[in-house]
Amino acid sequence: MTTDCVFCRIVAGAEPATLVYEDERAIAFLDLHPVHAGHTLVVPRHHVTDLRECDADLAAHLFAVSARLAPVVTQKTDADGFNIWTAAGRAAGQTVFHLHLHVLPRFFGDVFGPRQPNSKPPEATRGELERVAARILAGE
Ligand SMILES: [Zn+2]
């Protein structure tokens, strides 16, 4: 256990949290600073910094747990929809460096969300897309 990690302390029962789900590999609890009521964090029991350190089986499990919880959270909070998202690294907005998936109820007209341009980004050329794809494919 990384004792300076608040989520590891929650997993160990050394820090209070309001759990809404748990199994042998993951727990889910309500975010202490909810964007909306029902904002839930799905967290692996063992310390993983972010998705880059997470094996595919655990990633699939965490997403499956999130996908099971999200419709329930949405219904029970009378939300209009939900987001499931994760941040990897400070540049992406990660502030707790123990992997977590946010299950975030959403409402028509709410203003929470990633910053984005006011207008639709310009269409990329096929050549630009193919250059980026070639770099991604070369990494496999
Ligand atoms: Zn941790």
- Report the chain (140 residues): mean pLDDT per 10 consecutive residues: 85 96 97 94 98 97 98 96 96 96 94 73 91 86
| Chain segment 36-68, per-residue pLDDT in tens | 999 999 999 999 999 999 999 999 999 999 999
Angle of CA points 104, 28, 96, to nearest 5°: 75
Ligand 1 centroid to residue 21 C-alpha, Å? 18
Q: Phi-psi bin for 38: left (phi > 0), alpha (psi -120 to 50), beta? A: left
Q: Are 63 and 101 in contact, with CB atoms under 8 Å apart?
A: yes
39 is catalytic: no
Domain boundaries, the chain: 6-138
Residues, CB within 5 angstroms of ligand 1 (ion): 2, 5, 7-8, 47, 98
Q: Using alpha carbons, select from 54, 34, 45 the residue that is nearest to residue 102.
A: 34
CATH number of 6-138: 3.30.428.10
32 Cα: distance to centroid of ligand 1 (angstroms): 16
Q: Is the pTM of this model over 0.75?
A: yes
